[in-house]
A and B are shown apart, each in its own frame.
Chain A
Amino acid sequence: MSEYQLPAQFEEFSQARKEGFLRAKAIKDSGGHIAGTFCTFTPCELMDAAGVHPVSLCGMSPEPIPAAEKDLPKNLCPLIKSSYGFAVSDTCPYTYFSDLIVGETTCDGKKKMYELLGRMKDVYILQLPQGIDRSYALEMWTKELHRFKAALEEKFNVTITDQALREAAELRNQLRQARTALMELQKLDPPPFTGLGLYKLLDGLGFSFDLHSNLKKLTDLTAQLQADYAAGARPVPPGQKRILVTGCPIGGVLEKTVKVVEENGGVVVCFENCGGIKPTRYLVDTQAEDIMSAIAQRYLNIGCAVMTPNSQRMELLPQLVEEFRVDGILEIELQTCHPYTVERYEIKKLAHDMGVPFLALDTDYSQSDVGQLTTRIAAFIEML
């Protein structure tokens, strides 16, 4: 008999969710460990090297929000509420079966939500330095990684060797490069992929723990798409306006943003945000003398709005606009996300200076603004 129990309401779940629970339980039953993560800053190399499977618990569904609102304020980022709601309602298999939840000091909402989560789960918080212009930012973050490493070793009773870290970093580098190669196919005109299809595919890989097989899937798919394209396949018609998406994580609002873009004469050629290019461009120097510091360095390159100043984002955006020959920038923000909604001012100015039209949308996980968003997006594309 397994020592792991399914949640009490298991029988009421949909088929897909039941399968998710059974898959996660099977991992645990076979002696595997799961660490839930929420952010692109989470150093997954350390967990890989400890033999723990990191999986993103980022809440993308409106469903558990009412459960979350019992404890959390209503006017809070839907991603934070959804993530928390999954944990309190025992409806996400990976949250439910996670041995450890790893968070960082990113935005205030997440930070404080993790504290509450700590009442139910074993939560570990990494203190992320937020000013990478400080000479000691790297030193501090490296120390944080060492502290986290020690915590992992103790909790899972393992030793994380340098060798294992280098191997993990190497594999993660390859995965990032493979994702980049696939995403960069969108530089073609017309691109070989709808943005929606691309995003869903990349997102789905996060729930398969066999990293080698993910790598193979990615490289095979890239090769296949290239071959099809060379043979004349054009799944996206020519002449669609080429859109770059930036801003908050968008997994929970794909249908009412990205899909609407693509139904109204546009195609998303580049996702700059988490889930897209931002977390894949920078690699770990696996040959570096100090591998921990090399891993730390990679993460500090991520241009997230929780950083101040966020110069990395300001530098990356113009490059992407040029490389992907972008016609318009669409910033998607989740309601009450202060880091991104305030930073919008800078991005708007940047877009203006580049001469690229810019539209910012502020939305949540509900359906109440679908009509308005559609009009805005369609008008934006008509304007390009």
Chain B
Amino acid sequence: MPVYSIGVDIGSTCAKLAVVEDGRTLVHQMVMPTGWSSAETAQAIYDQLERQGYCPDSSPCVATGYGRLNVPYAQKTVTEITCHAKGAAFLFGTEACAIIDIGGQDTKVIAMADGVVQDFLMNDKCSAGTGRFLEIMANTLCVDPGTLCELARRGSGVSISSMCTVFAESEVISLIGSGTAKEDIAYGIVESIVNKVASQYGKLSVPGDRCYLTGGLCESPYILESLSRTLGLTVTSHPLARYAGAIGAALTAHGLARSERRTSV
């Protein structure tokens, strides 16, 4: 009988689910907006699991992400730092590398070796350099975040100097007012995020020059390009990289199941 382990990653904007079979194969994944209540989101994920034929109450399950404490059917909570490193090791291999996760409200840079976290840095409480920053700016420009990133590719010349999201937003509004092209504003916004992330990266001593992007922004080719250019190395990603946290949680859950069996023998 295969063992299915479940990982639930409740982020500040999106909730992700991953189901792993026998600690080896990813068999199911899903993403949904977190909305205003992580408890309700956790319940929606529960229902989805049941519909898919998994049993969240009896399968090993780990919750991660900022809403991790609101997942009543999880046996354990583990931070997103540890889970992202595990998930990245699953997707990219266990060789030493840096993992950049641009999340909804936090951006993390993790140094990983042999699949284990060596060191990490998280942004301070302000939202500069996070997905939230991008979202707010995209709203101001009346586009979605994905479109903003692609607009940025065609822009140039603008720099947003303010690190504070509120001030940066008024900077963007005055740029709009002065008739600056949307592409150029978008360029300035992405540069601001990338520079902030790069300065975080610079503070961490990272083994080697392998660098991967996980989390919500990994689907944007322009973010990858821009990060690579600024960091002076090739930042790559994976189609499943936004699930890295959930996958890491599911893999951790699998470990739980085994050790539980051991103790009950």
A-B contact pairs, 16 of them (CB 8 A): A369-B125, A371-B66, A372-B106, A372-B122, A375-B66, A375-B80, A375-B106, A376-B122, A379-B79, A379-B80, A379-B117, A383-B81, A383-B82, A383-B117, A383-B118, A383-B119
Contact B79 A378 (CB under 8 A): yes
In whole angstroms, what is the CA distance A375 to B9 when docked?
A: 14
> Interface on B for A, CB 8 Å cutoff?
66, 78-82, 106, 116-120, 122, 124-125
| Contact status of A375 and B79, CB under 8 A, knowing A357-B119, A382-B117, A383-B117 | yes
Within 8 A of B (CB), among A331-384: 357, 362, 368-369, 371-372, 375-376, 378-379, 382-383
Q: Which residue of A lies closest to B79 (CB)?
A: A379
Residue interface mask A175-190, B partner, CB < 8 A = 1: 0000000000000000
Quote the shortest CB–CB distance from B81 to chain A (angstroms). 4
Contact A382 B106 (CB under 8 A): no
User: Could you tell me the dominant secondary structure of chain B's interface residues?
Assistant: mixed
Closest 7 CB pairs of A and B: A379-B81, A379-B79, A383-B117, A382-B82, A378-B79, A369-B125, A375-B79
Q: Which residue of A lies closest to B120 (CB)?
A: A379
Q: Which of A357, A368, A372, A382 contacts B78 (CB 8 A)?
A: A382
Add 18 more A-B contacts to A375-B66, A375-B106 (CB < 8 A).
A357-B119, A369-B124, A371-B66, A372-B106, A372-B125, A375-B79, A375-B122, A376-B81, A379-B79, A379-B80, A382-B79, A382-B82, A382-B117, A383-B82, A383-B116, A383-B117, A383-B118, A383-B119
Question: Residues of A contacting B117 with CB < 8 Å?
Answer: 379, 382-383
In whole angstroms, what is the CA distance A378 to B62 when docked?
A: 15
In whole angstroms, what is the CA distance A130 to B135 when docked?
A: 49
Q: Which of B66, B82, B125 contacts A379 (CB 8 A)?
A: B82
In whole angstroms, what is the CA distance A289 to B79 when docked?
A: 58
Q: Which residue of B lies closest to A381 (CB)?
A: B79
Question: Residues of A contacting B106 with CB < 8 Å?
Answer: 372, 375
Q: Which residue of B lies closest to A378 (CB)?
A: B79
Quote the shortest CB–CB distance from B7 to chain A (angstroms). 15
In whole angstroms, what is the CA distance A251 to B19 when docked?
A: 44
Quote the shortest CB–CB distance from B8 to chain A (angstroms). 16
Question: Residues of A contacting B78 with CB < 8 Å?
Answer: 382
Contact B125 A375 (CB under 8 A): no
Q: Which residue of A lies closest to B12 (CB)?
A: A371
Quote the shortest CB–CB distance from A233 to chain B (angstroms). 25
Quote the shortest CB–CB distance from B2 to chain A (angstroms). 27
Quote the shortest CB–CB distance from B107 to chain A (angstroms). 11
In whole angstroms, what is the CA distance A382 to B82 when docked?
A: 7
Quote the shortest CB–CB distance from A279 to chain B (angstroms). 30
Question: Residues of B contacting A369 with CB < 8 Å?
Answer: 124-125
In whole angstroms, what is the CA distance A173 to B118 when docked?
A: 42
Quote the shortest CB–CB distance from B114 to chain A (angstroms). 12
Q: Which residue of A lies closest to B205 (CB)?
A: A352
Question: Residues of A contacting B80 with CB < 8 Å?
Answer: 375, 379
